[in-house]
């Protein structure tokens, strides 16, 4: 698996010990569109110290297939990748090649989404919890505080920096 794709998947994954209910009956059509990464929580150093920093996602849905266009900053250069997964029999849970999963844990569709990304890499299972916003600037939405509360027991935490790569993705994808 290419290193960039691993970073992208890690960008869209946290080992969550919290008892968190999954968004019931997710409306997959409403989750599509632009999302900027605002926060990351993980108990794995690897998830927080990847050479490529995820900045944004653009999600499209075609039937049960979810296409994730990922943009990340690689030492000042913007790079994009696309990965395609399909919805599982659980609402809001998508599986991707390479034993990777993305699950929408909570969203209000308009402002925030909290995702859990899981993958198996080098013989180990990794999970990362990610907070995404539709906005390029606002981070202090009610969803962000819910994310902070859910990840309070997680050892490592990162708030994403403002990035021009996410802004470029939003501009070209709209």
Its pTM surpasses 0.75: yes
Contact 24, 93 (CB under 8 A): no
At 53, which CATH number? Answer: 2.40.128.20
pLDDT of residue 148: 82
- Strand-strand pairing, 112-121 and 124-133: antiparallel
pLDDT of residue 99: 82
Identify the helix (H) or strand (E) that includes residue 120.
Answer: strand 112-121
Domain count, the chain: 1
Boundaries of domain holding 107: 3-173
pLDDT of 100 over the 60 cut: yes
Average pLDDT over the chain reads 77
pLDDT of residue 69: 94
Average pLDDT over residues 166-170: 81
- Tell me the C-alpha distance between 149 and 93, whole Å: 22
Confidence category of residue 45, pLDDT binned at 50, 70, 90: low
SS3 state at 97: coil
Query: For 63, left (φ over 0), alpha (ψ -120 to 50), or beta?
Result: left
Average pLDDT over residues 143-151: 82
């Amino acid at each position: 698996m290419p290193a960039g794709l691993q970073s992208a998947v890690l960008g869209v994954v946290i080992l969550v010990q919290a008892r968190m209910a999954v968004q019931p009956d997710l409306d997959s059509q409403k989750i599509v569109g632009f999302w900027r990464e605002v926060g990351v929580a993980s108990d794995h150093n690897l998830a927080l110290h990847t050479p490529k920093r995820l900045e944004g996602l653009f999600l499209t849905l075609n039937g049960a297939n979810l296409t994730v266009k990922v943009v990340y900053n690689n030492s000042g250069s913007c790079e994009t990748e696309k990965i395609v997964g399909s919805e599982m029999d659980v609402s809001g849970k998508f599986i991707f090649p390479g034993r990777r999963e993305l699950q929408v844990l909570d969203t209000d569709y308009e402002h925030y989404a909290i995702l859990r990304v899981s993958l198996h890499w080098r013989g180990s299972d990794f999970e990362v919890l990610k907070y995404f916003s539709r906005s390029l600037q606002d981070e202090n939405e009610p969803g962000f505080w819910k994310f902070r509360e859910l990840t309070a027991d997680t050892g490592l935490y990162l708030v994403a920096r403002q990035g021009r790569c996410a802004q470029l993705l939003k501009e070209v994808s709209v």
